[in-house]
Amino acid sequence: MDDWIGVINTSDLDVGEVVEITCHGEDLLLYRTPDGHCHAVTAYCPHLNNYMPNGLPPGTPPTELLKNDELHCPYHGWRFNTAGQCIGIPQGQRVPPAVRAGRPVLRRWAVREENGMLEIGQLLP
């Protein structure tokens, strides 16, 4: 089954940029890291299920969520790598077992660039 869905032109996502999209019925963040690769993750933080862009000051673009190749949740400072693992929780907060074990906690989708389009595929394990 081919369930790739084109969402935006590849040229519309620069290195270091984050855009909010809806695809497969999910609110996602689509971003391009400094190595040029694109990633699609849920826009809801696994900490308290907050919509991450809403934690930014009003009018701030979602690109501010990306620091190099890490997404930083603006609510309580959790940091996520491109594998969906939480790689940083500020001191004083509880660290859940899944984070301690290094398991991915941020849901991710496959992304490919095809015929000038960025396409979102299946949920990754």
Give min distance, CB of 38 to ligand FES, in A. Answer: 22
Pairwise CA distance, residues 110 & 89, whole Å? 26
Give min distance, CB of 32 to ligand FES, in A. Answer: 22
Give min distance, CB of 119 to ligand FES, in A. Answer: 27
Q: In the complex, which residues of this chain contact ligand FES (CB under 6 A)? A: 45, 47-48, 50, 73, 75-78
Q: Which residues contact 12 (CB under 8 A, 6 or more apart)?
A: 19
Pairwise CA distance, residues 79 & 123, whole Å? 20
- If the CB atoms of residues 43 and 118 are measured against ligand FES, the closer one turns out to be 43
Pairwise CA distance, residues 21 & 31, whole Å? 10
- If the CB atoms of residues 6 and 55 are measured against ligand FES, the closer one turns out to be 55
- If the CB atoms of residues 62 and 119 are measured against ligand FES, the closer one turns out to be 62
Give 44's DSSP letter.
B
Pairwise CA distance, residues 106 & 46, whole Å? 6
- If the CB atoms of residues 88 and 116 are measured against ligand FES, the closer one turns out to be 88
